[in-house]
Amino acid sequence: MRTTVKLHIALLLAAITLLPGCHQKAEGPQRPLSPVVILFDNDVHCGVDGYAAMETLQQASKGRTPYVAIVSCGDFAQGDVIGSVSRGEHIVDIMNLVGYDFITLGNHEFDYGIQRMAELTEKLQARTLCANFKDIQAGELVYKPFEIERYGNVDIAFLGIATPATATSVSPKIFLDEQGNIKYSFLRQTFFESIQQQVDAARMQGADYVVALSHLGDLSDGENPTSVELIGKTTGIDVVLDGHAHSVIPDSLILNAQGTPVLLASTGTKFEHIGVLELSVEGKFASTLVAAEGVQKDAGVQNFVESIKGQVLAEGERVIGENMQLLAANDPQGNRLVRMQETAIGNFCADAFQVMLGTEIAMINGGGIRADIPAGTVTFNTLYSVFPFNNTACTVSATGQQLLDILEVSVMSLPGEDGSFMQVSGLKFVVDPSVATPVVLDANNLFSHVTEGAPRRVSDVQILDAATGEYTSLLPDKTYTIGGISYNLTEYGSWGMFRYTTLLQNNLGQDVDILTGYLQQELGGVIDSRYAAPEGRITIK
């Protein structure tokens, strides 16, 4: 996890005239008769033990003011076994018990598909808000962009915002209709204008204050809008509660398009903190972060959480095998190695698919490998934490030339990390990141194309001959079989790099079952020294 507490130039400028963490509107809006407390979270990712702490803070807040709300900035339904096995339903049940009021959508709320997300948000008692998720064929937003809630004598508009990166960070196929036409959009091309329209509408409808629940993140990837840019290019928002980047931001002040400071806050991830935003009787906003582990847990909520954990984990604790060494997805500094270089855990996962599916090659995107395999006993839960997305196994065929193009897309972001970086089995190759990538993306950043005749980063691609154990040079006109997961091979994930391959077999079992079968049937229950280190499948100059 990357944790940042950003000190922006805007904070220094704003601090000249305002106390840190406080913002009072110059035009003098209605002031509340009693403080309004808004408890918030972001990127919980199934860290369910924090919900009992949230309930404790809610009850404590209600003891001093009648105006209390709980909101989430997204990414709550996925991230651990307890969410994945129920496809988010267990998390919704817990949030309903606590009594959330409003949520916006994180990109991982889409991991189970549009239909499942609709079912979850229908069951969720909190109101779902999103100002930039649109059914473009129907010409309307899928969810309400904002809602205005009255707290005594003041009206606060809660505005939901999802990251446009969702369109490429989950399976792009879910955003298409049956004919392959784009059905849903996150309004990337008109993002700031669209949000401004909704802020203006909320103000026109009488909102004294606007609190944005955003899942944008404050860290730029060069392509998608950040929460800092949101503030800098709009007016009329008083507070942005943010998610997506897992940043820890207690109370930063950012100047909006008119030079007015706007409060920005974010809690980290997995209930590292609970955010407490308060609107005082003086009409000022202030934000603090409370360490959830230091809050006494509400007994009723915690008992409910434990009962669910017991149901889920009992089956998951069955022993699958043993691991002789740590297979790490990240390095000690938190760098996600599986997204930028060959790793032992990547080799293990790719080998499992290559062997169990009987293909010449297997490829697994690094972004799909979500956890380490620690040394010691390996349980079903251990492997489920590695593959928590409920993908199925598939096989496709591709020509050697198509494979060359796939590899170019896989490494296009080096030396930076990219969830589409492929961990491989059955082949090896060399990468030169100093060569400009020949890959271009379409206007929606969904699908990739390799420029014909451009210099390439990937060279010396060799395919393993299973019969001889020797590598031979790839032949552009030859057809090869590839094993992998549905996210990549059938759902157009990872920049659509497998879009032109030919599907051979679909729905060949759950991804976690492929790992289980490989460990038990092929490795005799032991991940041994062959996976002690990478073996030179991907050489980066």
Highest mean pLDDT among 88-97, 106-115, 311-320, 446-455: 88-97
Domain assignment present for residue 4? The answer is: no
User: What is the secondary structure of 141-205 as a DSSP string?
Assistant: ESSBSEEEEEETTEEEEEEEEE-TTHHHHS-GGGGB-TTS-B-EE--STTHHHHHHHHHHHHHHT
The confidence band for 118, taking pLDDT boundaries of 50, 70 and 90, is very high
Evaluate whether residue 2 is within a structural domain.
no
pLDDT single digits (tens) 489-508: 998 889 999 999 999 988 78
Same-domain status, 281 and 372: no
Helix (H, G, I), strand (E, B) or coil at 526: strand
Residues 387 and 261 in one domain: no
Instruction: Please compute the mean of the pLDDT values over residues 381-385 and round it to a whole number.
Output: 91
Burial class (CB in 10 A: 0-12, 13-18, 19+), 167: buried
Peptide bond into 415 cis (omega under 30): yes
Distance between CA atoms of residues 51 and 95, nearest Å: 8
CB 165 within 8 A of CB 224: yes
> What order of strands is seen across the sheet that includes strand 526-527?
376-379, 319-323, 526-527
CA distance 512 to 523: 16
**What is the residue range of 63's domain?**
9-311
Per-residue pLDDT for 378 more than 80? yes
Residue pLDDT, tens place only, 143-175: 999 999 999 999 999 999 999 989 877 767 788
- Phi-psi region at 77: left, alpha or beta (left = phi > 0; alpha = psi -120 to 50): alpha
Residue 3 lies inside a defined structural domain of this protein: no
Residue 93: the pLDDT is 97
Which pLDDT value is given to residue 294?
94
Judge if 153 and 282 occupy the same domain. Answer: yes
pLDDT of residue 59: 98
79 and 126 part of one domain:
yes
Express each pLDDT in 226-235 by its tens digit.
999 999 999 9
Residues 391 and 291 in one domain: no
Q: Which of 262, 284, 311 is the last residue of a domain?
A: 311
Quote the pLDDT of residue 11: 34
Q: Binning pLDDT at 50, 70 and 90, where does residue 28 land?
A: low
How far apart are the C-alpha atoms of 39 and 35, rounded to whole Å? 13
- Specify whether 298 is located in the same domain as 323: no
For residue 76, give the CATH number of its domain. Answer: 3.60.21.10
**Residues 152 and 293 placed together within one structural domain of the fold:** yes
Average pLDDT, the chain: 91
Same domain, 266 and 350: no
User: Residue 489's domain is classified under what CATH number?
Assistant: 3.90.780.10
The pLDDT value given to residue 509: 78
- The answer to whether residue 426 is domain-embedded is yes
- Digit-coded pLDDT (tens) for 253-276: 999 999 999 999 999 999 999 999
Amino acid at 422: M
Least confident of 8-12, 126-130, 144-148, 442-446: 8-12
DSSP 337: G
CB 324 within 8 A of CB 529: yes
* DSSP reduced 3-state for 440: strand
| pLDDT(382) > 80 | yes
- The verdict on 277 and 334 lying in the same domain is no
The residue among 311, 328, 351 that closes a domain is 311
Domain boundary among 311, 328, 357: 311
pLDDT for residue 24: 41
28-32, 37-41, 278-282, 406-410: the lowest-pLDDT one = 28-32
pLDDT at 467: 86
Name, in order, each residue with C-beta under 8 angstroms of 413's C-beta and a sequence gap of 6 or more.
Answer: 420, 421, 437
Q: Given this model, what pLDDT does residue 435 score?
A: 97
Residue 486 lies in a domain: yes
Q: What is the 3-state secondary structure (H, E, C) of 302-314?
A: HHHHHHHHHHHHH
Question: Do 169 and 251 fall into the same domain?
Answer: yes
- pLDDT tens digits, 295-306: 999 999 999 999
What total of structural domains would you count in the chain? Answer: 2
Same domain as 328, residue 299: no
Helix, coil or strand: residue 11: helix
As a whole-number percent, the residues of the chain with pLDDT over 70 amount to: 95
How far is the C-alpha of 211 from the C-alpha of 231, rounded, in Å?
Answer: 12
Q: What is the mean pLDDT of residues 318-327?
A: 94
**Domain assignment present for 158:** yes
Residue of 220, 227, 222 lying closest to 249 (CA atoms): 227
Model confidence at 12: pLDDT above 70: no
228/478 Cα distance (integer angstroms)? 49
Q: Is 238 helix (H, G, I), strand (E, B) or coil?
A: coil
Give the C-alpha separation, 445 to 540, whole Å. Answer: 26
425 in any annotated domain: yes
DSSP state of 73: -
Q: Are 294 and 346 within one domain?
A: no
